[in-house]
Amino acid sequence: MKKITYLLLLTLFMSACGSKKTIPRKNRAITSSEVKKPSSSKQIDNIINEAMRYKGTRYKYGGTTKSGMDCSGLVYVSFKENNIDMPRVSRDMATRGTKVSVKKAKEGDLLFFQTNKNRRVINHVGIVTAVQGDDIKFIHSSTSRGVIVSSLKEKYWNGAFVEIRRII
């Protein structure tokens, strides 16, 4: 009988050591201030950095990869990688965002051009990478040189320039 009592007590102590007390936790909702969203300037930097990854990529009509990229493809991919949906062609992109003056241009804005004066439609787009005084630098995909950074002061681009639009 002593053995049974001893085994019973031993079993009781062993199970007491191995038991786990569950403490209920209150479910807590996450408030919007706790969710970290990229600031617009961080998002703009990310878009420009994404576009710069393609610098030197050859031009390819309809292209959206490192093997070939067109102007609207560069904008489309750079914004898409940052969770911003854009149309695929430059003339449709020109309907998005808010028109801004050249004096108010900032990084991340889109520059639109008409390079074919006979057609009178927007057919080229670039992303502003820097505003240095009265000079605006932008990255785009040129049919002759691929993805490059150009200046709005260049005669060709200045003559083809139509407008600037702000998406972010």
Residue 140 catalytic? yes
Q: Is-contact 72 93, C-beta < 8 A?
A: yes
Identified catalytic residue from 140, 146, 150, 152 = 140
Q: Is-contact 75 110, C-beta < 8 A?
A: yes
Residue 124 catalytic? yes
Residue 71 catalytic? yes
Measured distance CA(153)–CA(136) in Å, rounded: 7
b/e code 39-56 from CB counts within 10 Å (16+ = b): eeeebbebbbebbeebee
Identified catalytic residue from 71, 89, 94, 110 = 71
Lookup: tokens for 45: 């930097």
Identified catalytic residue from 48, 124, 126, 136 = 124
Which amino acids are annotated catalytic? Answer: 71, 124, 140
